[in-house]
Amino acid sequence: LKEKRGVFVTLTKNGDLRGCIGHPLPTMPLVDAVIDAAISSATRDPRFPNVVEEELSKLKIEVSVLTLPEKIEVETPRDYPKHVEIGKHGLIIELGINKGLLLPQVPVEWNWDAEEFLSHACMKAGLMPDCWLREDVKISRFEAQIFSEESPGGRVVERALLQGDQEKTYKKTRKPCSGANP
């Protein structure tokens, strides 16, 4: 918990996103990053009003502990999809001052293929969906270890994402997190 790690905290209420903020890079110890991201998800996500006390018992919390992002090197931008594994990689798209990040679980939950994932990451950065085809775009990938409450305030499990070559499905494993080493 004292190791510096990137982390995102996702809050959901009745299955709907309620907040998601984090630190893509390991700028502080994991324990501090989780606390900061949790508070920020509840109070600083510009897409949502602040979480109020009455909601706390209805929120499900998910923590994604990130690996260091690695730049994807390709000969031509059309090769990017070959280097993105759905259910394994998250993406960071950067072009000029624009930057967007999507966690590995997002394309699994939305049944996207690699091209759709790249397009949505571009849009998250405030760019056109096909920006990933530009020569001057920087695309990085990362992985995440995901810990999720089974229900609001419930048992925490490590969530595994599965994605076959042609399958578009995911499931949750039921591995208790006590003693887990993120």
Q: 104 in a domain, yes or no?
A: yes
Domain containing 153 equals 6-67+144-176
Going by C-alpha positions, the residue among 99, 91, 96 that lies closest to residue 69 is 91
Dihedral sign for Cα 14, 15, 18, 19, please: positive
Going by C-alpha positions, the residue among 41, 34, 39 that lies closest to residue 11 is 41
Render pLDDT for 107-134 as a digit per residue (tens, 0 to 9). Answer: 999 999 999 999 999 999 999 999 999 9
Render pLDDT for 157-169 as a digit per residue (tens, 0 to 9). Answer: 999 887 544 333 3
Average pLDDT, the chain: 90
Assign 3 to helix, strand or coil: coil
Q: 85 in a domain, yes or no?
A: yes
Total structural domains within the chain: 2
Q: Is the pLDDT of residue 176 over 80?
A: no
- Do 56 and 10 have their domain in common? yes
Residue 147 has φ and ψ, to the nearest 5°, of: -120, 125
- Do 61 and 75 have their domain in common? no
The answer to whether 172 and 159 are in contact (CB under 8 A) is: yes
Q: Is the pLDDT of residue 33 over 90?
A: yes
- Do 120 and 165 have their domain in common? no
The answer to whether 148 and 155 are in contact (CB under 8 A) is: no
- Do 58 and 91 have their domain in common? no
